[in-house]
Amino acid sequence: MKRTPFSKLSFTMTGNRGAALEMARSRIVLLALVFIVAYTIVGIRLFDVMILQGRFWQDVEDTRAVEAAVQTKAPEAVRRGDIVDRNGAILATSLKTASLFADPALIVDAQETAKALAALFPENTYENYLEKLQKKGRFVWLKRNLVPEEQHAVMLIGDPGLAFQEEYKRTYPQGQLAPHIVGYVSRDEMGQAGLERAFNGLLETEETVLKTTLDIRLQHALRQEIANTIDIFSAKGGAGVIMNINNGDVLALVSLPDFDPNKREKLDGDQIFNRATLGVYELGSVFKIFSTAALLEKFPDALSMTFDAREPLKRGRFTISDYHPEKRVLTVPEVFMVSSNIGTALMGEEIGTEGLKAFYKKLGLLSKPDISLREVGAPLYPRPWRDINTLTASYGHGVAVSPIQLVAAVAPIVNGGLQVTPRFLKPEGEEEVTKTTAMRVYDEQNGEIMRSLMRLVVTEGTAKKADVPGYEVGGKTGTAEKPGAKGYDRKRLISSFMGAFPMSAPKYAVFVAIDEPQGTKESYGYATAGWTAAPTVARVVERMVSILGIPPVGVATAETQEDAEDMGAKTQLIAQPVKGQAL
């Protein structure tokens, strides 16, 4: 076909239009791509801000909420100071542990988690755990102080709502050995009894070591011997104290029944009750130590005095009798040796009401003991105090004190006259009290006489079973009827022995009381102190001298023979074997 000029022009116009259209199409596609990219960027940004970052900040807030809850409910753990005995043996310490809590808002499956927890820790039920896991708050305790095996088992549950808080758990390595002295703490490590309570502020604010006067070896010996006596005589309980009478160091203190402070879930009041410091009791004839000492203080010639014990003593509507009457006139040493209530009551009359009260007060028997422990009983005594009360109080009837108070009052009678206060913490570098640091409350020479009389009770009197050859044990027995709703009950006794040794130079006091002992075939039916408490003290002394490495005094040295002859000249004593078993 032959092209004409018109055809050429038409072709040119068509080509220009197509190019223009192609260019327009390209620009539209490019613009569309720009918009697509822009919208994509905007969409990605919106997804980041609204979804990804929203979840991140929610997680942060959740974490902060849990941390805040933990800080509110369980403040940062601070290790409580240790308590040790005088030789460094640990009595109480704190171990780091993990405690389990939950954030209910983060629990994934409350039912399955509750089921798993109930299987691990059956002390709580499935319902209990489920209730805790569905609470509205952000923090709830599930179990405190887990062992590593328990913590590992919880982690295997795998629920993100379960977490751990580091805490310290108070533990008592000696178990039941000294719970009434050491005490125990609450779940939050606040002292609840004993030294834990008395020095709670010191123990919780300073990571220190509280060094006590206790000797855990002596504590074990005392506890074991009292427990054996309770078992043999089917007794209700018992108490005991070992104290250094020169400086007041309490070396051992026992109250039975007792408890393990590591396991306090099912305790009764009798186990927690501290019979040695909180309980107050009428301890009977051990009080004759004080009335005899008061007589020596008032009358320089007291050893030459005699008292008629042939018949029961009648004063008004009251009659005072002897448990095993001698039915004869007795010297002061004999009154003390055979434990005559009649003779002692007559001595009380000679001393007088005001004189005996003043002497008891001077020894601290009429006021609450000032010791570190908070569990301290106040003494009970007649108010008003009449003349008849003077007679009965002279042999321990009507006056109730704690064992620790009795030991503290006896100390100056036998240590040379110096007052000491029982203490449970040992100052570094201090060994003995001196005349410049202790107040004198009793005459030293009269104290020598009292030591001789107390030794006589063991060698010739009511406490022969307390003797330990070579160690000069001295003391006084006491058997008291317990008061009840209908008066004093002869079948319910507290039998006790207040001992000290060696009497030529006393250093240690040992006291044992047995609550409601029952007579046995071996004791011929007796449950008095001579059969129960006195032999217990002897066994304790035998173990003490072995533990502490105390050598025997020696029975027949020139010095002790001279002292014995001198004492015999002073007392002009006619020592006779005691028939039966006196109080």
Q: What is the pLDDT of residues 13-43, one digit of tens each?
A: 555 666 666 776 777 777 777 677 767 776 6
Residues 249, 198, single domain; the answer is no
Give, for 167, the enclosing helix (H) or strand (E): strand 162-171
Rounded Cα–Cα distance for residues 477 and 46 (Å): 94
- Percent of the chain, pLDDT > 70? 83
Q: Is residue 18 part of a domain?
A: no
- Out of 162-176, 417-431, 473-487, 490-504, pick the least confident: 417-431
The domain in which residue 154 lies consists of 87-100+137-210
Asked which of 176, 210, 244 is the last residue of a domain, the reply is 210
Q: Is residue 491 part of a domain?
A: yes
Task: Please say if the pLDDT value at position 307 is more than 90.
Answer: yes
Task: Please say if the pLDDT value at position 63 is more than 70.
Answer: no
Phi, psi of 248 (to 5 degrees): 85, 5
Cα 74 to Cα 47, 66, 71, 489: the distances in Å are 39, 11, 5, 53
Residues 407, 443, single domain; the answer is yes
| Mean pLDDT across the chain | 86
Asked which of 180, 210, 240 is the last residue of a domain, the reply is 210
Residues 325, 355, single domain; the answer is yes
Q: Taking the CA atoms of 473, 476, 479 and 480 in sequence, report the sign of the dihedral they define.
A: negative
pLDDT at site 495: 98
Residues 206, 334, single domain; the answer is no
Residues 332, 192, single domain; the answer is no
Residues 557, 496, single domain; the answer is yes
Amino acid at 309: A
Q: Is residue 15 part of a domain?
A: no
Q: Is residue 46 part of a domain?
A: no
Whether 99 is catalytic: no
For residues 189-216, average pLDDT = 92
Tell me 107's DSSP state: -
For the domain that residue 384 is a member of, what is the CATH number? 3.40.710.10
Residues 427, 537, single domain; the answer is yes
Task: Please say if the pLDDT value at position 76 is more than 80.
Answer: no
For the domain that residue 162 is a member of, what is the CATH number? 3.90.1310.10
Tens digit of each residue's pLDDT (9 = 90 or more) over 557-572: 444 445 444 444 443 3
Residues 383, 304, single domain; the answer is yes
Residues 203, 244, single domain; the answer is no
Residues 141, 272, single domain; the answer is no
In this prediction the pTM is 0.79
Phi, psi of 242 (to 5 degrees): -120, 125
Task: Please say if the pLDDT value at position 487 is more than 80.
Answer: yes
Select which of 285, 291, 372, 394 is catalytic: 285
Task: Please say if the pLDDT value at position 9 is more than 50.
Answer: no
Q: Is residue 176 part of a domain?
A: yes
Q: Is residue 44 part of a domain?
A: no
Rounded Cα–Cα distance for residues 250 and 84 (Å): 14
Residues 97, 146 contacting (CB under 8 angstroms): yes
**Among candidate residues 241, 210, 226, the one with its CA nearest the CA of residue 80:** 210
Total domains, the chain: 2
Length of the chain (residues): 583
Tens digit of each residue's pLDDT (9 = 90 or more) over 495-546: 999 999 999 999 999 999 999 999 999 999 999 999 999 999 999 999 999 9
pLDDT band for position 52 (cuts 50, 70, 90): low
Residues 171, 234, single domain; the answer is no
Residues 97, 145 contacting (CB under 8 angstroms): yes
For residues 416-425, average pLDDT = 96
Q: Is residue 64 part of a domain?
A: no
Residues 191, 230, single domain; the answer is no
Asked which of 164, 185, 210 is the last residue of a domain, the reply is 210
Rounded Cα–Cα distance for residues 434 and 558 (Å): 28
Q: Is residue 435 part of a domain?
A: yes
